[in-house]
Amino acid sequence: MGCGLSKAHSNPEVLVSHGNARLTVHGRRLIVQRHQAGWPQAHIAAAMGVSRKCVRTWIDRYATEGEAGLVTRSSRPHTMPTRTSDEV
């Protein structure tokens, strides 16, 4: 989802579900709570060890979808235009 790592990626505050995950649902909720508390996005990003773009993504998703926007989604594409036909 474009959530690149920032230089402050060593914060043990974020619980991860696997080696490549930067945020769990709990961490995403924490981003939203800090944003609602008035934290600047850059400070949230530094504290969570993610990019500002990632912080913006979760804030925007929460604004449009509510709590459901913080749930992990599949990265599988909905369609595949170059898919080999069933006949082949």
DSSP string, 46-85: HHHTS-HHHHHHHHHHHHHHGGGGGS----S-S--TTPPP
Cα–Cα distance, 30 to 14 (Å, whole number): 9
Whether residue 54 lies inside any domain: the answer is yes
| pLDDT digits 0-9 by tens, 2-51 | 565 544 444 444 444 555 667 888 899 999 999 999 999 999 999 999 99
Whether residue 88 lies inside any domain: the answer is no
Identify the domain containing residue 66 by its residue range.
Answer: 25-70
Whether residue 1 lies inside any domain: the answer is no
Whether residue 82 lies inside any domain: the answer is no
Eight-class DSSP state of 45:
H
Length of the chain: 88
| pLDDT digits 0-9 by tens, 12-21 | 444 445 556 6
Look at the chain and report how many structural domains it folds into.
1
Whether residue 43 lies inside any domain: the answer is yes
Reference 5, options 74, 55, 40, 62; nearest CA is: 55
Whether residue 48 lies inside any domain: the answer is yes
Whether residue 56 lies inside any domain: the answer is yes
